Amino acid sequence: MGDGERQHDGNRLERGQATVELALVLPVVVLLLMILIQAALVAKDQLLVQHAAREAARSAAVDPDAAVARRAAEGASNLDRHRLTVSLSGGGERGDRTTARVSYRSPTDVPLVGRLIGDVTVSGSVTMRVE
């Protein structure tokens, strides 16, 4: 066997090794990418929940009706209203402080990752002075 033939066999072996390495590493890389995507989706929901809490507190500062604050929180974002919880505390008299607490069960819809970690609850709280 000449040097040219050995070199050709070596290239084929290296390509085969690279294919095996890719086959071993690719599932791990894909899983990490899915975890990263799920974390970004939960972070987005956290920002939306904080915004919803701000809107609920603003509504509660001008109208003591809890239903108005809940509608404001629901309308502030495109979060699923069945997963959203809004609670108010304080308030009453002008100058008092009212606190709106909003929590949301963020769905984990990314394949595989959702089954591993389940739904995540994110929450936000905002306090404002009653006008």
**So where are the chain's domains?**
3-129
In whole angstroms, give the CA distance from residue 73 to residue 106.
15
Q: Is the pTM above the cut of 0.85?
A: no
In whole angstroms, give the CA distance from residue 11 to residue 6.
9
Kindly report, residue by residue over 50-102, the tens digit of the pLDDT: 999 999 999 999 998 889 999 999 999 889 999 999 999 987 788 899 999 99
Supply the DSSP symbol for 76: T
**pLDDT computed for residue 112 by the predictor:** 81
**pLDDT computed for residue 117 by the predictor:** 85
**pLDDT computed for residue 8 by the predictor:** 58
